[in-house]
Chains A and B, each alone.
Chain A
């Protein structure tokens, strides 16, 4: 999931010009889980803005619970058909969702002015209803086979691939003494699994061309093509 956190209302208010008519859009998936843009927060945002004198022409959170704002065809239908009257009057859209959702609203409205209502902070695991944690950096070249599934690009502050730096203190990271050293976590996990030999091999530098932006994925039921500065890589899911 894409973790998001609402921007402070004071920052959002600075985005909106005097007299600007605003339509508020939330997301029924990730932003709902983050309490940054679900139905409750989207309704509340409309009210908070109205209270502060902003002309809010409407609000919605497309789809049932679990539906992502970033599913373009559905968001387009909701904004252009279901809410056509309000969205036609809107000068801009305040999006309570991740950066992908913001772009989806641009596409769904054929290029309307948008305002980000949230900061998109990371892709994470919903550990509990109140705790979302980051375990993957979306680097495009997964190395976690040899680390017992724990990502050094994410759990190590320096993204080291061949073991820890010398900075950890009693198993805690030099950057944040409250947080365990990612490499100590990897080591302890593999030790318990009896698979420490996985750490012996030299790990080459990452291919950062695969971490280039923007990237694209072309998908079909039978194969997918990952497009990045490293080129186009097609993989079958059938053979």
Chain B
């Protein structure tokens, strides 16, 4: 189901995220890859699950194969598609393939640079940027490819995009967000945000944009992870207060603490957004707790 239908109904849309495994899916149907198991934990609490595309430029199982795998298991996937590894022919072909295999939602992104990943000598593609990709996907919906040739049975998928509220200067990031809207983006998920002021400035500047936005949150598991993200994860900054708070409890209690902190943050801001995108980084089992702390009815998602 297209998640844009949920936004249209005025539902608060909750999505999760899993990363495909580094490896192939077993031919033994009784063996499920870990990403499918994570998605299972999530499925009763979210509307859909993002499937990342060679996230952080680390080579993995394809996002489309993993998305189809989730769909077959009854979980609604959001197929992430990046410009890093595919030229315009491959991007369009993958969009047609995705729709043909039953995918209803795609998230169209630039992609992390190859230098951030595990294949640093690979040739970066970036034939299109994300704005051009969205426009091309919209064109496929309208029945033609990027060169103007007609296509048979145009695909009809919800077209999502991303925006980073942490970006400085924010106006430059919003200029690109506007271009994504003009190109055909139907909903947005934000990069992980931890800072209340960042949220408020972003909301103030985008509330008239007229597209549903999901607040992105990443589980902060430990103070070390906060420091690591500040050092290594592009476009995310974790304030000192978060790092101190998660560090204030013993390791054994951190999962509970992380869920509480994240829940409190979502509770403070949920009314300003049309949904939340939770990136639990493997701690999928505490997502119900996060939602409880956030005061979001779990049943709402199903």
Residues of chain A having any CB pair with chain B under 8 Å = 157-171, 174-176, 183-184, 187, 199-200, 202-206, 208
A-B contact pairs, 19 of them (CB 8 A): A158-B113, A160-B130, A161-B131, A161-B132, A162-B130, A163-B175, A164-B176, A166-B167, A167-B234, A168-B167, A168-B168, A168-B235, A174-B113, A175-B113, A175-B116, A176-B115, A202-B131, A205-B127, A208-B127
Chain A at the B interface: mostly helix, strand, loop or mixed? loop
In the assembled complex, the Cα of A208 lies from the Cα of B175 at a distance in Å of 26
- Write the chain A residue with the least CB distance to B128: A205
Chain B hits for A176, CB < 8 A: 115
Given A184-B169, A205-B146, 19 extra CB contacts under 8 A: A157-B124, A158-B110, A159-B129, A160-B126, A160-B130, A161-B131, A162-B132, A163-B131, A166-B162, A166-B173, A166-B235, A169-B234, A169-B237, A175-B116, A184-B172, A199-B175, A203-B132, A206-B127, A208-B127
The contact string, 1 if C-beta is below 8 Å from chain A, for chain B 95-139, is 000000000000000111101100000001011111110010000
A160 to B84: give the CA distance in the assembly, Å.
Answer: 11
The interface residues of chain A lying within 8 Å CB-to-CB of B167 are 164, 166, 168
Give Cα distance in the complex from A47 to B78, angstroms: 64
Chain B residues near A169 (CB-CB < 8 A): 234-235, 237
Q: CB-nearest residue of chain A relative to B131? A: A162
B residues near A200, Cβ cutoff 8 Å? 175
Q: Assess the A160–B110 pair: CB atoms within 8 A.
A: yes
Q: B173–A164 contact, CB under 8 A? A: yes
Collect the chain B residues with CB atoms within 8 Å of residue A157's CB: 113, 115, 124
> Does the CB pair B235–A174 fall under 8 Å?
yes
In the complex the two chains form, what is the Cα distance from A167 to B234 in whole Å? 5
| Of listed B111, B167, B191, residue having the most chain A CB within 10 A | B167
If A158-B126, A160-B110, A160-B129 touch, does A167 touch B172 (CB 8 Å cutoff)?
no
**B7 CB, min distance to chain A CBs, angstroms:** 21
Residue B88 at the chain A interface, CB threshold 8 Å:
yes
Q: Is B182 an interface position by the 8 A CB rule?
A: yes
B interface, CB within 8 angstroms of A: 83-84, 88, 110-113, 115-116, 124, 126-132, 135, 146, 162-164, 166-169, 172-173, 175-176, 179, 182-183, 191, 234-235, 237
A170 to B236, CA, bound (A): 10
Measured CA separation A213–B25 after assembly (Å): 40
Most buried by B among A157, A166, A187, A205: A166
- Are B127 and A163 neighbours in the complex by a CB distance under 8 Å? no
From A159, A163, A168, contact of B179 by CB (8 A): A163
User: By the criterion CB–CB under 8 Å, are A202 and B110 in contact?
Assistant: no
* Count: A-B pairs, CB below 8 Å: 93
Residues of A within 8 A of B135 (CB): 202
- Choice from B88, B115, B172 contacting A205 with Cβ under 8 Å: B88
Q: Name the residue of chain A whose CB is nearest to the CB of B115.
A: A175
CB-CB under 8 A from B235, the residues of chain A are 166-169, 174
Q: Which residue of A lies closest to B146 (CB)?
A: A205
Tell me whether A166 and B164 are in contact (CB under 8 A).
Answer: yes
CA distance A176 to B120 in the complex (A): 13
Task: Tell me the bound Cα distance from A187 to B174 in angstroms.
Answer: 12
B164 touches A205 (CB 8 A): no
Do B126 and A167 have beta carbons less than 8 Å apart?
no
Chain A residues within 8 Å of B132, by CB: 161-162, 203-205
User: In whole Å, how far is A204's beta carbon from the nearest beta carbon of chain B?
Assistant: 7
In the complex, how many angstroms separate the beta carbon of A211 from the nearest chain B beta carbon?
Answer: 11
Which A residues are in CB contact (< 8 Å) with B129?
Answer: 158-163
**Chain A min CB distance to B142 (Å):** 16
CA distance A170 to B146 in the complex (A): 35
Docked pose: A174 CA to B130 CA in angstroms: 17
Roughly how many angstroms separate A184 CA and B169 CA in the complex, as a whole number?
8
Residues of A within 8 A of B182 (CB): 202
**Distance (whole angstroms) from the CB of B163 to the closest CB of chain A:** 7
Using CB atoms, name the residue of chain B closest to A160: B129
**In the complex the two chains form, what is the Cα distance from A224 to B231 in whole Å?**
50
Q: How far, in whole Å, are A34 and B83 apart by their CA atoms in the complex?
A: 35
Complex contacts, A164 vs chain B, CB 8 Å: 167, 172-173, 176
Contact A174 B112 (CB under 8 A): yes
Report the Cα distance A183→B146, complex, angstroms.
25
B176 close to A162 (CB less than 8 A): yes
Please report the C-alpha to C-alpha distance between residue A229 and residue B146 in the assembled complex, in whole angstroms.
Answer: 19
- How close is B242's CB to chain A, nearest CB, in angstroms? 17
User: What is the bound-complex CA distance between A157 and B132, given in angstroms?
Assistant: 17
**A160 and B129 alpha carbons, distance in the complex (Å):** 5
A163 touches which of B128, B172, B234 (Cβ 8 Å): B172
Shortest Cβ distance from A180 into chain B, in angstroms?
12
- Inter-chain contact A168/B146, CB cutoff 8 Å: no
Residues of chain B lying within 8 A (CB to CB) of residue A205: 88, 127-128, 132, 146
Question: Is the pair B116, A202 in contact by a Cβ cutoff of 8 Å?
Answer: no
When distances are taken between beta carbons in the complex, the residues of chain A under 8 Å from B163 are 166
